[in-house]
Amino acid sequence: MSKPHIAFLGLGLMGSGMARQLLAKGFPLTVFNRNTEKARPLADEGARVAASPAEAAVQAGIIISMLADDTASRSVWLGDDGALVSAAKGTLCIESGTVTVDWIHELSTAAAERGCEMIDAPVTGSKTQAATGELNFLVGGTAAALERARPVLSAMGRSMVHLGPAGSGALIKLINNFVCGVQIASLAEALAMIERSGLDRTSALEVLTNGAPGSPLVKAVSTRMTTPDFTPNFLLRLMAKDLGYAVAEGSKLSVDLTTAKAALGLFNQGISGGYGEQDIAAVVEPLRITTP
């Protein structure tokens, strides 16, 4: 069977790697990115570059969006030159950004009005997993739509989990990221304590990373914090955004995410300190420079 033509919207840290995997697997690909310079390398590798989301969607059987937040996602789907303006009836729409459940429901309704079907399929994994096709997709939507999407998602990832109806993937992604954010915030505070106390940092971190707290995330981020290396794998400002979204979703379910709120405070402090465009590990830096 011939591969469907894909329109891919958003070529940031994650999207560029995902789009490149689709090209490598032989999918016909049209890409759109607001900053056209980010599309140039993919054009050199065989992708067609569109001037707008609407243009990208014209020939597409499947449209994938990987944008930073609700606002950016809304602009590429529903703007005056948004993808749904020109999407053909029967097109499968996939939202892979970390967005709110309410936006997924709104987008799903808008897609249905165009005769299209939509799934939310955010991912776990970061820049490295996107570049190597090792992402895990968290899917909300119908089982039939997931089966249509499966060959395309398989080209970009190693696994997919069907969580339930539309919005289910978005919700579990926010829960996942708030737990990650809390771990990173607590690690930053722990490292600040270690460094101020005079403990041998290497030995102290070995206790944490090789013991019960030593999740893969804690191990990876502790290395970045101590190198230090804040080359973006996951932008600090986006973790703050995800924590804020998670707090709001928790409130709708009458769950007060107190740990997420505390972590959000630290990440906002990092943004105020000028670290928003750096890796999440940079959340430790304001704790290092603050006078006790």
Residue 49 shares a structural domain with residue 125: yes
Same-domain status, 144 and 253: no
Query: Is residue 207 domain-shared with residue 234, that is, in the same domain?
Result: yes
C-beta neighbour count of 1 within 10 angstroms: 4
Residues 144 and 55 in one domain: yes
Which of 124, 231, 250, 134 is closest to 177 using CA atoms? 124
- Residues 71 and 161 occupy one common structural domain: yes
Q: What is the CATH number of the domain that holds 212?
A: 1.10.1040.10
Same domain, 91 and 185: no
Query: Catalytic residue numbers?
Result: 173
Domain range for 11 is: 6-165
3-state secondary structure of 29: strand
Q: 179 and 83 share a domain? A: no
Number of helices and strands in the chain (H, E): 14, 9
CA distances from 106 to 59, 72, 274 (A): 24, 14, 34
Give the count of domains, the chain.
2
| 292: pLDDT strictly greater than 50 | no
State the helix-helix crossing angle for 15-24 and 143-156, rounded to 10 degrees.
90
What confidence tens digit (pLDDT) does each residue in 230-269 have? 999 999 999 999 999 999 999 999 999 999 999 999 999 9
- Condensed to tens digits (0 to 9), the pLDDT of residues 16-26 reads 999 999 999 99
Q: Per the structure block, which two tokens stand in for 48?
A: 């067609």
CATH number of the CATH domain containing 71:
3.40.50.720
Q: Is residue 1 part of a domain?
A: no
Tens-place pLDDT, residues 75-100? 999 989 999 999 999 999 999 999 99
Residues 45 and 122 in one domain: yes
Cα–Cα distance for residue pair 56/63, rounded to 1 Å: 9
pLDDT reported for residue 291? 44
Specify whether 161 is located in the same domain as 191: no
Model confidence at 1, in pLDDT bands (50, 70, 90)? low
